[in-house]
Amino acid sequence: MTEGNLFIVSAPSGAGKSSLVHHALKTIDNLCYSISYTTRQPRGLEQNGKDYYFVSQDVFKFMRENGEFLECAEVHGNYYGTHQATTDKIIKSGKDVILDIDVQGAAQIKEKMPKAISIFILPPSPEILESRLRARAENTEADIERRLKNARDEIKHCKDYQFVIVNDEFGNACRALEAIIRAERQVLSRQLDKTELIIKSFGG
């Protein structure tokens, strides 16, 4: 069976990445979300096992030392990691997996899995990013300041990604993300078995 693709989506906090990823999961079949592990506290209506697996620093450290993470990084003062066994299982089943991770994690995955497809979501301006972060009303002032500062550093990495989507209009950004995922599925090397069978059926 052809293995699934691994899509990495990164963006500064507040760029609309989570909403875009959720939209893609609703509209595209055979696309699974990899739920990350984090040491940060749940925000708003977030649920354990749905948005994240919320774990203590000790549990995270144990998992990291046990080699359970495909990648992991400290972001905005908390630890985050992608569970290796879960993503492997999805990919081996032929389904695609989508990761919502930061630029450090994306770089680690590109090292280990060069075929992973990387997508960066850019906010249209710093002013819009700030107003989106404030509109969330879930972050403290210190947290907003830290996320804005980190955004300046993260944005510098967008040129390391294969695809960039400017999220100035949600509908357009959704269509762009969907187009990337669907186009990657049509790449010839991913369809060789099927293609060869059809060629043979034509006597080729």
**Site residues (vs ligand 5GP, CB under 6 A):** 13, 36, 40, 71, 73, 75-76, 80-82, 100-102, 104-105
- The minimum distance between CB 40 and ligand 5GP, in angstroms, equals 5
Whole-angstrom CA distances from 177 to 12, 19, 43, 201 are: 16, 11, 26, 34
To ligand 5GP, the closest distance from the beta carbon of 109 in angstroms equals 9
Q: Give me the least distance between CB of 179 and ligand 5GP, in Å please.
A: 21
Q: Which is nearer to ligand 5GP, 73 or 97 (CB)?
A: 73
Q: Which is nearer to ligand 5GP, 2 or 78 (CB)?
A: 78
Q: What is the rounded CA–CA span in Å between residue 114 and residue 26?
A: 27
Burial label, 187 (beta-carbon count in 10 A; 0-12, 13-18, 19+): exposed
User: How near is the Cβ of 100 to ligand 5GP at its closest, in Å?
Assistant: 5
Place of tokens 């989507």: 165
For residue 118, list its beta bridge partners.
8
Please say which residue, 4 or 81, places its beta carbon nearer to ligand 5GP. Answer: 81
- Comparing every residue's Cβ against ligand 5GP, the nearest one is 105
Neighbours of 22 (CB within 10 A): 13
CB-nearer residue toward ligand 5GP: 47 or 201: 47
Cα(199)–Cα(170) distance, rounded to whole angstroms?
Answer: 40
Closer to ligand 5GP at the Cβ: 101 or 122? 101
**Paired strand residues for 31:** 96
